[in-house]
Amino acid sequence: MIGKYFSILTIVLIFSLSILAQESQKQLEVKRKKLENEIAFTNKLLSETQSSKDATLNQLRLLTVKVNKRTDLVATLKSAIYQLSNKINQTESSLFKLEEELSDLKQKYAAIAWHAYKYRSAYNKLVFLFSANDLNQSYQRMRYLDQISSYIRKEAIRIKEVEEERSNVLVTLKKEKSNKKNLLETEQVEVFNLEQEQSIKTRLKTDLQSKEKQLRSSIKNKKKLAKKLSRQIQKIIAAEIAPKKDIKTGRTYELTPSEKKLTTSFVSSKGKLPWPTERGVISETYGVHVHPVLKKVKTKNNGINILTEKNSNARAVFSGKVVSITRISNTNLAIIIKHGEFFSVYSNLDKVNVSKGDEVGIKQVIGKIHTNLKGKTELHFEIWKGISKQNPAYWVAKK
């Protein structure tokens, strides 16, 4: 009984591990396709910015994104190959056990078939039965002959089932080995592509290092615009969060009941907010960063920058009220939307589709993102809680 229990437990464990391996393989396949789509999209963005012969910092950032995603893709392929190798080993082990079982069944079948052959004729059966010492022994011999016949039929069916199962396992094994071969070939191609992209990235970085004066001028201009945007945001937010007085009751309040409800809803959506663009790649993250080309130079970002394709729109990440439309430069409009205690900022827009005071819904198009002369289409996006800056990457859903 105990042996039977452990046998069943082992079968259940093997089955569970098999299911987990299948899920893992499915997840890896989904991740692989997602990365391949993202790399294809990054290639499209690169083709839009490579119309200019001069190397740009934007191209370097896109190449960095592409190299990172390609590295992740190679790692995903390696994991998939490892998973498949384990599965092939399990399949081969199953096949070996089936072949052992089939061999054992055939041996037993041959032995019992000989007994059946011995008493194949009606005469032999009668002789066997009537040669018994008494009636009880004769009855037992008759049962014995019936059991032999029943056993032969059952064993014949079982042998057929095992042979079919063995045939199916062989088909599965052949398919798995073919899939592994394809994955190995794909991995080799991706490793080659990664090496090529790393080489291009190195050359591009060297080219950009020769343009230090131009890069420093660009950084200075960006810092100036960033400070202007930050001052405008702080001024608008300060006015919005200032205590307000109810004319009828004379009471002061910071948030209305509906704004409190919106705040709670916004907080509960942390990590699940839609992106402010339909598609895109993060070209610069939140916080202080070492410049990718210039030594001892650091840049600060109060939000995230998202590179996307030409003619793309910015969209609201949550329902709220438009509290400001500000012009930062000739080609840079910024929209600030209030979500109760929180504010979302969308900068580097060519034109806007909303007006101050408008109520907007989640994913509603609010403006068109500016594309510069070098083909770069980049949205700057920020989230504030009152006058406290937030990292937008913690708030938007992971792509």
Tens-place pLDDT, residues 256-298: 888 899 999 999 999 999 999 999 999 999 999 888 888 888 8
Average pLDDT score, the chain? 81
Mean pLDDT is lowest, of 161-165, 239-243, 268-272, for 161-165
Domain boundaries, the chain: 2-209, 212-394
| pLDDT > 60? residue 139 | no
Q: Residue 243: what pLDDT? A: 76
Q: Residue 141: what pLDDT? A: 57
Q: Residue 116: what pLDDT? A: 55
Q: Residue 15: what pLDDT? A: 43
Q: Residue 218: what pLDDT? A: 83
Tens of pLDDT, residue by residue over 86-135, are 888 888 887 787 777 777 767 766 666 565 555 444 444 444 444 556 66
Q: Residue 361: what pLDDT? A: 96
Q: What is the rounded average pLDDT of the residues 175-202? A: 88
Q: Residue 8: what pLDDT? A: 37
To the question of domain 212-394 being in CATH 3.40.50.10860, the answer is no
Q: Residue 302: what pLDDT? A: 94
Mean pLDDT is lowest, of 202-211, 312-321, 329-338, for 202-211
Give the residue from 227, 253, 233, 230 showing the smallest Cα distance to 242.
253
Mean pLDDT is lowest, of 17-31, 45-59, 68-82, 277-291, for 17-31
Highest mean pLDDT among 142-146, 216-220, 227-231, 309-313: 309-313
| pLDDT > 70? residue 373 | yes
Mean pLDDT is lowest, of 88-102, 194-208, 242-256, for 242-256
